[in-house]
Amino acid sequence: MIKEIRTRFAPSPTGYMHIGNLRTALYAFLYARKNNGKFILRIEDTDTERYVEGAVDIILDTLKKAGMDYDEGPKKGGPYGPYVQSERKNEYMKYALELVEKGEAYYCFCSKERLESLPDVNGARKYDKHCLRLSKEEVEKRLKAGEPFVIRQNIPEHGKTTYHDMVFGDIEVDNADLEDNILIKSDGMPTYNFANVIDDHLMNVTVVMRGIEYLSSTPKYNLLYKAFGWEQPLYMHLPPIMKDATHKLSKRNGDASFNDLMEKGFLPEAVVNYIALLGWSPKGNEEKLSMNQLIEMFDVEGISKSQSIFDEQKLRWLNGLYIKELPFDDFVEKASPYIAKSKVAGKYDEKKLCKLVQSRIDTLDDIASLVDFLEEFGEYDIELFRHKKLKTTPEISLEVLPEIREKFAAIDDWNETNIHEAMTKLVEEKQVKNGIVMWPVRVALSGKESTPGGATELADLIGKEETLKRIDFSVNLLKQKLNA
């Protein structure tokens, strides 16, 4: 009987946080919070060859941005620290030697050449227990001579190992299909396979969540628990997140990491929300869920056994909902760096630009493409003035634009209200529908068929002087093209 739910996220500091890793962390976090348990962060840096400088900071920063506050871990401490594997090196060797004494592990002195000479079976070379048969005296002689060695797990050659997975049910594996894992490498560092078992036990981890690729190798870990006489944790293996029907999502293949998505203008809350739904279905049809809602609704029954496909268009849609619901001042703050990267940087009132785009974008990165037209104004096709539904034509536009210019020129206090009143007044005077005036002004100010915001918003944004200048340009363009 588990007294306390204790989950862990144990990433390797090998670069940016990819989406699959982040989902594992999220599910572990949600399960712990849902069950009033503890969520632990442990850095598994035993693979020194793949270690990337600064990667630990990326992990900490990602969890913070994603809203996953861990209870124990690096920089925070806790009763079972240290929480970085490289700082626990002596612990692993002690336990490995205990297994050697029990006959559950053994020293292996095999050279790289000998290992490579083993038969290749289905693309893999399984170790043949050669060094298990060395006498105790031979082993001691080689150790005293300083020969390099690893310590391997002694897995039974017969029988089966069975365990229960919370997602996939009962799993049974023939011991004969398992290889004698290396527990301690020649540099004295533990392998992932060994260190995670020792640390999970010493840190009292009661629920282990990880990718489905470990489903069939978990019996090796359970044999270690059995050898030590320790209680096994509960297991929850998660199906993969796929790029498409046949390819896993992978940073190596150039697929987006959490940081990549942030740089593309996705909001962390939206990414977390979307990732939660990649492999888990809440009860009900609602898809936009806050972290508190995710915690409240998360359950193991909702986790799928099938792979999920990462759909960036679906993420964009969800992100757009979050952007539209942002308080305006928050949106201005988040949009500011993206406006600074656009062609209009520093040329227009930032709040007016934000008002123009907030309801019309799915990511913050969309801002530049939406507003750059303001600085790309020049000669354009006068057929843009032709609008079948509004019944406008270049000829009608040439009649309307000089008249609206006159009214705009008379405005002393240039603002949206006065601009709209001027256009409405012309509509009344001409006894036409709004579009007969609004559409020509919109095209004349933008030179585009589609723009964020209407004529009123555009005129207010670019200012009186630029508005009059663009109307003059458009009138001359119409005269030139119609008289050609």
Q: Which residues are catalytic?
A: 251
Cα torsion through 457, 461, 463, 464, rounded to 10: 0
What residues are paired with 72 via a beta bridge? 40
CB half-sphere exposure, 154, CA atoms < 13 A: 18
Q: How far apart are CA 438 and CA 66, in angstroms?
A: 44
According to DSSP, residue 433 is labeled: -
3-class SS of residue 308: strand
Q: How far apart are CA 70 and CA 25, in angstroms?
A: 10
Q: How many CB atoms lie within 10 A of CB 366?
A: 20
Tokens (6 digits) for 123: 């693309």
Tokens (6 digits) for 353: 């630009």
Tell me how long the chain is.
484
Q: How many helices (H) and strands (E) does the chain have?
A: 18, 13
Tokens (6 digits) for 209: 């969540």
Which residue shows structure tokens 């150039």? 254
CA pseudo-torsion sign 185, 191, 193, 196: positive
Phi and psi (nearest 5°) for 428? Answer: -65, -45
Under a CB-based contact definition with an 8 Å cutoff, are residues 437 and 430 in contact? Answer: yes
Q: How far apart are CA 92 and CA 90, in angstroms?
A: 5
Instruction: Report H helices in 229-311.
Output: 258-263, 268-276, 291-297
